[in-house]
Amino acid sequence: MDLSFNCRLFAFILIALAIFAADDSKWNKRKLTTVSCGNNCSYIKAEGQSDILHYLFSGKPAMSILSIKTDTNGKLLINTKFSPPQIKVDPDKSFLYAFGIVFDKLIEYNDSKNTANIEKYDPAEWKNYSTAMEIVSNKQDSVVFFKSYSTDNVPRNITFSFWNFADNSRQDILPHLIVTSNSSLMNLVINNVKPSFSTSRFALAATYISHGNSRFSIKSEKSLDDEYSPGTFEVANWLAVSNNHNSFWQWKPVSYFGTPRSTMTSTYVKSYKLNTNFSRLPENPSLAYSFFTEMGDYNMSSNILSFGLTDDKFYDRNNYTAWSATFGYGIPPAETVSTLAIAIISVGLGIPALLFVGGGIYLCLKRRRNDYEPVFGTISS
């Protein structure tokens, strides 16, 4: 048997496996760049191999995001003389799909009956907060918006932050959402804003707009494993399904009333019945809304997400509410088997693999030693 050939084959298999592993991680990478798009507007371009994702995050006159997918020749013409800016895709035919999210307003309601259900109260008694925001920080892959509500010298504010990613990963912080090169992460924090009621809770009213003849739904999926967000066995997906394109807004129904985020500081996020009745949808001057109005051919849906759970002691217990979500193109990422389960499976697969690698190296080294034996033999004889 020709052992040297086997060693080459063995080395070849190892190198092939290494290339396969390395290649796999580069698969979806995008190049991110940021430029301003006018008054409190940030444009993050995510260039991939087969398409470009253009993300616009605009804080004036109302917080919204607009995301446009073009082929690799697509550019945006941005007229910053207007606020929100006017956006044109150039050339027209590079346009593939677009979706937008308008954060219509934040609502504080007096949950005197401790129901954690905003529909139990008359909208005329809500306290509505505008989401007009200013940029406080803007990096290559992220942008932070904020609005101060401080009347004393204590910081009180509402912030919206957004991140894009070159690659796929899972967030380090709770609730450990999955992000991909085709999605963005958002974070909403109500930071020490003075409550108007001792039994206050907050809620977010939002409108999701999608190009083409889009059908919307909110689907909750049970996840088998809650290792990543203890106590949370659910993932909510607000889906837009149009002709050939899909987009999604994904979150776990969990928000936090304190830092650091933990099971001890977590509470519930409730969503309501999706409103797709056009005539009742809010029309507002945000960037996403103005882009689609100009372009035509879109559908919208709106909903409210409210933060809190009966008997969780209300916003006032800490004067803090934080919530994270992701939104992006295609099918929302599905919760997969946890690392713990993977670790257990890997041990099962890993031992044979170690035996293979270890055994191969041993055999090859042994073979090399054997090669020299006759030489030593000659010298010693």
Ligand X SMILES: *[C@@H]1O[C@H](CO)[C@@H](O)[C@H](O)[C@H]1NC(C)=O
Cβ proximity to ligand X, 155 vs 358, nearer residue: 155
Cβ proximity to ligand X, 108 vs 228, nearer residue: 108
Cβ proximity to ligand X, 171 vs 319, nearer residue: 319
Cβ at position 235, least distance to ligand X in Å: 16
- The total number of residues shown for the chain amounts to 381
Alpha carbons 331 and 178: distance in angstroms, whole number: 12
Cβ at position 158, least distance to ligand X in Å: 8
Cβ at position 241, least distance to ligand X in Å: 9
Backbone angles phi, psi at 90, to 5 degrees: -135, 130
The closest of 91, 109, 125, 99 to 316, measured between CA atoms, is 109
Q: How many CB atoms lie within 10 A of CB 342?
A: 12
Q: Which residues touch 173 (CB under 8 Å, ≥6 apart)?
A: 261, 324
Cβ proximity to ligand X, 215 vs 368, nearer residue: 215
Q: Which residues touch 106 (CB under 8 Å, ≥6 apart)?
A: 128, 129, 131, 158, 190, 202, 203, 204, 205
The 3-state DSSP class for residue 229 equals coil
Cβ at position 164, least distance to ligand X in Å: 12
Cβ at position 48, least distance to ligand X in Å: 6
Q: Which residues touch 366 (CB under 8 Å, ≥6 apart)?
A: none
List residues near ligand X by CB under 6 A.
28, 39-40, 48, 50-51, 110, 112, 123-124, 126, 128, 134-136, 146, 155-157, 168, 180-182, 191-192, 194-195, 197, 213, 215, 277-280, 299, 316-319, 330
Q: CA 163, 193, 238: angle at the middle one, nearest 5? A: 40
Cβ proximity to ligand X, 213 vs 370, nearer residue: 213
Cβ proximity to ligand X, 285 vs 360, nearer residue: 285
Cβ at position 268, least distance to ligand X in Å: 20
